[in-house]
């Protein structure tokens, strides 16, 4: 019988299988590296797209914030103008009241009484003046009380203060009273 030596053939087969195995391992490693690289590139692209979107949104937020600030400034300007309009309307509405106040004061002022200072705070009016006697101040207060546009006269100070060239003494006084707006039905009769 002849002897067949199968060892070299097995050895070659083993080397061939090892080479194929190494080639398979290298191929799988290269493919895995390519797949990993492609996945990494894809995710980097997604991140860049999101960063671009975020930058776009932030830019639009800045634009909207500027518009909001402009709107707030316009609202402040609007409120300022509205308050001016209200003040003007109030002044126009009160214009007849001022004329009526001075008319009532002139009609109520008796002879011998001089007004030197008038100040108004809201509906409260303060008068400083000179009178020839206390009776004239009392007469002035009664006429103020009887007026439908003036009410609640309150005498704060009366003191003898000055002597004129004829030797007459004058009393200085401070009088506080309120301005009243009569009801519409009452003003139509006058």
Query: Which has more pLDDT, 188 or 109?
Result: 109
Would you place residue 188 in the very low, low, confident or very high pLDDT band (cuts 50, 70, 90)? very low
Q: CB burial class (10 A; 0-12, 13-18, 19+) of residue 92?
A: exposed
| Window from 14-18, 137-141, 161-165 with minimum mean pLDDT | 161-165
Residue ranges covered by each domain of the chain:
26-108, 112-189
Higher per-residue confidence, 37 vs 103? 37
Of 36-50, 120-134, 144-158, which has the strongest mean pLDDT?
Answer: 36-50
pLDDT over 90 (residue 103): no
Q: What is the pLDDT of residues 124-151, one digit of tens each?
A: 889 888 888 888 888 888 888 888 878 7
E-state strands within the chain: 113-121, 124-131, 150-163, 169-179
Residue range 34-42: average pLDDT? 96
Return the CATH fold of 112-189.
Answer: Dodecin subunit-like (3.30.1660)
């Amino acid at each position: 019988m002849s002897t067949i030596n199968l060892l070299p053939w097995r050895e070659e087969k083993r080397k061939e299988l090892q080479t194929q195995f190494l080639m398979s391992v290298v191929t799988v490693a290269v493919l895995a590296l390519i797949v990993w690289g492609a996945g990494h590139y894809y995710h980097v692209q997604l991140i860049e797209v999101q960063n671009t979107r975020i930058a776009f949104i932030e830019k639009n937020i800045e634009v909207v914030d500027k518009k909001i600030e402009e709107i707030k400034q316009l609202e402040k300007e609007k409120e300022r103008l509205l308050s001016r309009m209200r003040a003007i309307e109030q002044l126009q509405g009160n214009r007849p009241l001022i004329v009526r106040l001075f008319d009532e004061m002139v009609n109520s002022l008796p002879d011998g009484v001089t007004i030197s200072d008038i100040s108004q705070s809201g509906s409260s009016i303060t008068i400083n003046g000179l009178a020839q006697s206390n009776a004239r101040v009392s007469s002035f207060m009664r006429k103020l009380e009887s007026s439908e546009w003036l009410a609640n006269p309150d005498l704060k100070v009366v003191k003898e203060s000055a002597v004129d060239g004829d030797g007459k003494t004058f009393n200085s006084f401070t009088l506080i009273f309120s301005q009243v707006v009569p009801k519409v039905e009452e003003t139509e009769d006058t």
